[in-house]
């Protein structure tokens, strides 16, 4: 529906103005006389245009008109079931129009009557306002909301930066959600409140805590699971290994927390956390800040009665059997009894065994001492980073970076980075193989039955095997490089025909493989040359036989080999003039 007041000296003139304004005839306009009567020289009529339904139940309305003699406000009362005039909304609109010289009393008087036309300001250019926002901050200043105000007809939308400036001017300095503001401005939900800023809540401080870098649970002694529902009954949970300087307990200091901030920039205090102390300890180191507890030595760690204790010797009172299980300990291991078949004992330090060793595996980073002997059954194996000392070994393997001290070796393999001394009550190496980087001193080699026994000094069999392995690997790498050469030729010929991505991928792969193979070839070549040099010069070591070297014995020194076909007594075997020779033993029996 359209509505407009028209004033003239008579009704006909007023209606003519309405016809001109609407561009319609009288028959298309509904007229209501507001003031004026026959003979009156001043008429005010209300001209309405719309459908019958619109005219019957029209809402109240208002209009501002900028005319040559002033600014006029017109109010149109509701009709029928139409809604009454929203005066507050009208007043906001008038306020946003920035009308100069506004006559507030005239506006109020006209608003009270809810109908009519009145001049409210002198003549002026109409101001067209654009979108605007209002900001409301909650009482606790924890959030701020905004409302988008609808623009005047033809008014511009509010710019994002302008909106941000108005929000700042309203006192909102923190917590503005820029994405929420952009969505709010884009939604055009005029008059709807939307949260555009929220306070940054405080973060209370964390209380101090202890982080145990080892399990503080009680050792169960249960077999270790190996998957598929199976368990290893020789791997029992009896101790917890620990390395020297390993972090055992870490103390996380309490924090003060981070204060929050209201949307107006006021600080919100946080609560500090509570601190905690490191536990007591034995054989442990604590740093100056008292934030770390580390093991003073390798071994085993226990947490007992609130105390962290480290021990570098693991003791087994009795045999190492199914009740004890396998042992893998960072430190030394002392077993008062024997090590039964099928078990493994590993230690980074020394291993001392008071009894015997059956078909078991003993691996030590230090020395190995076996008070009894080794009944290996072709499965027993002793390895030591230091020396090995034992009464005897039968059908087993003993490998030491240091020396091997033994009474009798029977059908076994001995390898020593130092010397091999078989000088006990019997002092014999019978069958099998014995190799030492240093000398071998023994009373007997082989047996009267001409048992095949191999003795080597100057270079351990392990290094000879390494030479063979390297020779095969070098040959393989050379073949690989030949194939890469062939690939390069193929790629050069196919560059114009092949898909560029495929060509580039093959070229890069070939280049990388060439780099890796070339590096490996260089490293292996250096290693094998060093070993061959060592082999060629491994001629200073000797084999001293304090009693008899029986037939069937083969003695290797450097590149020389001597086969004993007839028993040789009290002799020292040496390398001379590219062969192995012997002469009278250089050691006395008493001295040996």
What is the distance between the alpha carbons of residues 308 and 326, in angstroms, rounded to a whole number? 24
Provide the pLDDT for residue 105: 93
Read out DSSP for 297-314?
SSEEEEEETTEEEEESEE
Tell me the pLDDT band of 222, cut-offs 50, 70 and 90. Answer: very low
The pLDDT tens digits for 451-487 are: 999 999 987 667 778 888 999 999 999 999 999 989 8
Q: How far apart are CA 338 and CA 327, in angstroms?
A: 13
Strand 579-584 to 568-576 pairing: antiparallel
Residue 429 pLDDT greater than 50, yes or no:
yes
How many Å apart are CA 162 and CA 160, to the nearest integer?
5
Report the mean per-residue pLDDT for the chain: 89
Give the residue-averaged pLDDT of 490-505: 87
Give me the pLDDT at residue 174, please: 94
For residue 315, pLDDT over 90 is answered with no
Report the 10 Å Cβ neighbour count for 574. Answer: 22
In this prediction, residue 220 has a pLDDT band, given cuts at 50, 70 and 90, of very low
Closest CA relative to residue 70, chosen from 19, 112, 107: 107
Residue 200 DSSP code:
B
Q: How far is CA 516 from the centre of its chain?
A: 29
**Segments making up each domain of the chain, as ranges:** 2-121, 132-198, 209-257+274-311, 328-463+540-584, 464-536
Measured CA to CA, the distance from residue 140 to residue 138 in angstroms comes to: 6
The whole-angstrom separation of Cα 263 and Cα 200 is 8
Number of Cβ atoms within 10 Å of the Cβ of 243: 15
The whole-number pLDDT of residue 231 equals 43
Report how many helices (DSSP H) and strands (DSSP E) the chain contains, helices first.
8, 42
* HEC sequence for 412-438: EEEEECCCEEECCCCCEEEEEEEEECC
Q: Report the C-alpha gap between 586 and 509 in whole angstroms.
A: 61
CA dihedral sign, ordered 513, 516, 522, 523: negative
Among 180-189, 300-309, 342-351, 456-465, which is the least confidently predicted range? 456-465
> Cβ–Cβ contacts within 10 Å for residue 140, how many?
10
For residue 53, pLDDT beyond 90: no
- Distance from C-alpha of 335 to C-alpha of 354, rounded to nearest angstrom: 6
* Confidence category of residue 415, pLDDT binned at 50, 70, 90: very high
pLDDT at 405: 93
Ramachandran quadrant class, 120 (left: phi over 0; alpha: psi -120 to 50; beta: rest): alpha
What is d(CA 442, CA 423) in angstroms, rounded to the nearest whole number? 6
b vs e for 275-307, b when ≥16 Cβ sit within 10 Å of the residue's Cβ? eeebbebeebeeeeeeebbbbebbbbbbbeeee
Mean pLDDT across 216-225: 55
Confidence at residue 527, expressed as pLDDT on a 0 to 100 scale? 87
- Three-class DSSP category at 74: strand
Non-local CB neighbours of 345 within 8 Å, separated by 6+ positions: 320, 326, 327, 333, 335, 339, 351, 353, 360, 361, 362, 363
Coil, strand or helix at 19:
helix
Residues whose CB falls within 8 Å of the CB of residue 203, separated by 6 or more in sequence, listed in order: 257, 258, 260, 270
Mean pLDDT of 30-42: 84
- Check whether 154 has a pLDDT greater than 60: yes
Band (539; pLDDT cuts 50, 70, 90)? confident
Condensed to tens digits (0 to 9), the pLDDT of residues 560-574 reads 899 999 999 999 999
pLDDT digits (tens, 9 = 90+) for 185-219: 999 999 899 999 999 999 999 999 999 988 877 55
Q: Is the pLDDT of residue 225 over 70?
A: no
Pairing mode, if any, of strands 388-400 and 143-149? Answer: unpaired
- Express each pLDDT in 141-152 by its tens digit: 999 999 999 998
Does the pLDDT of residue 239 top 80, yes or no? no
Output the CA torsion 393→398→400→404 (10° steps): 20
Predicted pLDDT of residue 590: 56
Q: Which helix (H) or strand (E) holds 95?
A: helix 87-96
Residues 388-407 have pLDDT tens digits of: 999 999 999 999 999 999 99
Decide: 218 and 233 in contact? Cβ < 8 Å: no
Phi, psi dihedrals of residue 458, rounded to the nearest 5°? 95, -35
For helices 160-169 and 178-187, the axis angle rounded to 10 degrees is: 120
In terms of Cβ atoms closer than 10 Å to its own Cβ (0-12, 13-18, 19+), residue 41 is exposed
CA dihedral 134, 137, 138, 142 (to 10 degrees): 130
For residues 357 and 238, what is the distance between their CA atoms, to the nearest angstrom?
21
Q: Around 356, how many Cα atoms within 13 Å sit in the side-chain half-sphere? A: 14
- For residue 484 the two structure tokens come to 């890469």
Determine how many CB atoms are found less than 10 A away from the CB of residue 575.
21
Better-predicted residue by pLDDT, 346 or 243: 346
Query: Residue 230: what pLDDT?
Result: 53
The pLDDT value recorded for residue 228 is: 54
């Amino acid at each position: 529906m359209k509505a407009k007041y028209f004033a003239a000296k008579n009704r006909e003139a007023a209606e003519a103005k309405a016809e001109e304004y609407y561009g319609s005839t009288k028959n298309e306009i509904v007229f209501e006389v507001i003031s004026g009567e026959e003979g009156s020289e001043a008429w005010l009529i209300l001209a309405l245009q719309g459908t019958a339904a619109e005219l019957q139940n029209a809402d109240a309305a208002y209009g501002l008109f900028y005319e040559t003699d002033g600014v006029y406000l017109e109010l149109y009362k509701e009709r029928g079931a139409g809604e009454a005039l929203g005066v507050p909304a009208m007043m906001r609109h008038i306020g946003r129009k920035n009308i100069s010289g506004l006559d507030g009393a005239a506006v109020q008087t006209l608003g009270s009557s809810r109908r009519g036309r009145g001049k409210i300001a002198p003549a002026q250019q109409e101001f067209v306002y654009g979108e605007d926002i209002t900001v409301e901050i909650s009482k606790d200043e924890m959030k701020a909301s905004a409302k988008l105000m609808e623009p005047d007809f033809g008014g511009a939308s509010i710019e994002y930066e302008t909106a941000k400036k108005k929000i700042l001017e309203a006192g909102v300095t923190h917590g503005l959600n820029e994405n929420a503001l952009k969505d709010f401005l884009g939604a055009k939900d005029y008059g709807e409140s939307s949260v555009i800023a929220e306070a940054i809540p405080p973060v209370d401080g964390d209380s101090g805590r202890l982080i145990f870098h080892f399990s503080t649970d009680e050792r169960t002694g249960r077999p270790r699971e190996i998957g598929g529902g199976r368990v290893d009954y020789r791997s029992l949970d009896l101790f917890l290994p620990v390395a020297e300087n390993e972090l055992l307990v870490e103390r996380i200091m309490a924090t003060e927390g981070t204060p929050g901030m209201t949307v107006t920039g006021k600080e919100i205090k946080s609560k500090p956390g509570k601190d905690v102390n490191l536990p007591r300890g034995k054989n442990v180191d604590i740093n100056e800040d008292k934030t770390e507890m580390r093991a003073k030595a390798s071994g085993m760690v226990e947490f007992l009665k609130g105390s962290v204790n480290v021990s570098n010797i693991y003791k087994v009172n009795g045999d190492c059997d199914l009740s004890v299980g396998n042992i893998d300990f960072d430190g030394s291991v002392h077993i008062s009894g024997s090590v039964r078949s099928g078990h493994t004992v590993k230690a980074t330090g020394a291993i001392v065994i008071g009894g015997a060793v059956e078909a078991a595996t003993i691996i030590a980073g230090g020395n190995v001492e076996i008070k009894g002997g080794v009944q290996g059954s072709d499965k027993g194996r002793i390895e030591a980073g230091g020396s090995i000392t034992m009464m005897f070994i039968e059908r087993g393997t003993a490998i030491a970076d240091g020396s091997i001290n033994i009474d009798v070796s029977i059908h076994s393999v001995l390898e020593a980075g130092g010397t091999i001394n078989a000088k006990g009550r019997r002092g014999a190496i019978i069958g099998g193989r014995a190799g030492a980087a240093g000398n071998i001193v023994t009373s007997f080699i082989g047996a009267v039955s001409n048992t095949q026994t191999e003795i080597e000094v100057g270079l351990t069999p392990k290094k000879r095997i390494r030479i063979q392995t390297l020779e095969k690997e070098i040959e393989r790498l050379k073949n690989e490089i030949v194939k890469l050469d062939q690939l390069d030729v193929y790629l050069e010929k196919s560059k114009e025909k092949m898909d560029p991505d495929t060509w580039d991928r093959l070229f890069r792969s070939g280049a990388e493989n060439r780099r890796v193979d070339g590096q490996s070839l260089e490293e292996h070549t250096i290693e094998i040359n060093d070993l061959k040099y060592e082999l060629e010069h491994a001629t200073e070591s000797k084999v001293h036989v304090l009693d008899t070297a029986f037939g069937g014995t083969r003695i290797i020194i450097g590149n020389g080999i001597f086969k004993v076909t007839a028993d040789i007594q009290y002799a020292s075997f040496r390398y001379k003039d590219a062969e192995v020779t012997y002469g009278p033993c250089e050691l006395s029996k008493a001295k040996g």
